[in-house]
A = this chain, B = another copy of it.
């Protein structure tokens, strides 16, 4: 028995597939760039950032963390030829709203010590929240610029998307 969200996937996809004409796109991104942005439900990267199908890798995680994205970026560059990173964090991010210890306590309360053990094993128990949006964009760009897993010459820029207005602005 499908859930409503599964049924929506099936129904929406039928319409999408019936109009689909892009079955011959190449695996490597045509415009040779990767976007790192947040998993936030209020962001539609293709529409808001002008990404046509086939043009760019789109990496999304909680907070648009570049530390969390490093594996993906190395694959994107070394195996699939991208040469540019566009990092876009956003206003109203959930990662601005809590501290690591609070999240850990929530896991303990809801999932017990087994849950705390599972997050430690899974990701070192590090939820990667942050407190200053623009500063964190700058820090993440600098972190990438210094990281030896990113080739020299890769262009890196940092931006903020405003969920209230739909606008992006350049930070670094």
Contacts and interface: CB of A to CB of B under 8 A. Distances in A.
B72 A119 contact: no
A70 to B, nearest CB: 4
A111 B77 CA distance: 11
A60 B58 contact: yes
Interface in A10-32: 10-13, 16-17, 19-20, 22-25, 27-31
- Residue among A39, A111, A123, A127 facing the most chain B CB atoms (10 A cut-off): A39
Contacts of A9: 49-50, 86, 159, 168
Contacts of A61: 59-61, 69, 71-72
A34 interface: yes
Contacts of A134: none
Contacts of A62: 71-72, 75-76
Contacts of A114: 148
A11 B8 CA distance: 32
Contacts of A78: 103, 106-107, 110-111
Interface of A: 3-6, 8-13, 16-17, 19-20, 22-25, 27-31, 33-34, 39-44, 46-50, 53-62, 67-72, 74-76, 78-80, 84, 86, 92, 94-95, 97-98, 103, 106-107, 110-112, 114-115, 117-119, 122-123, 126-128, 147-149, 151, 155, 157, 159, 163-168, 170
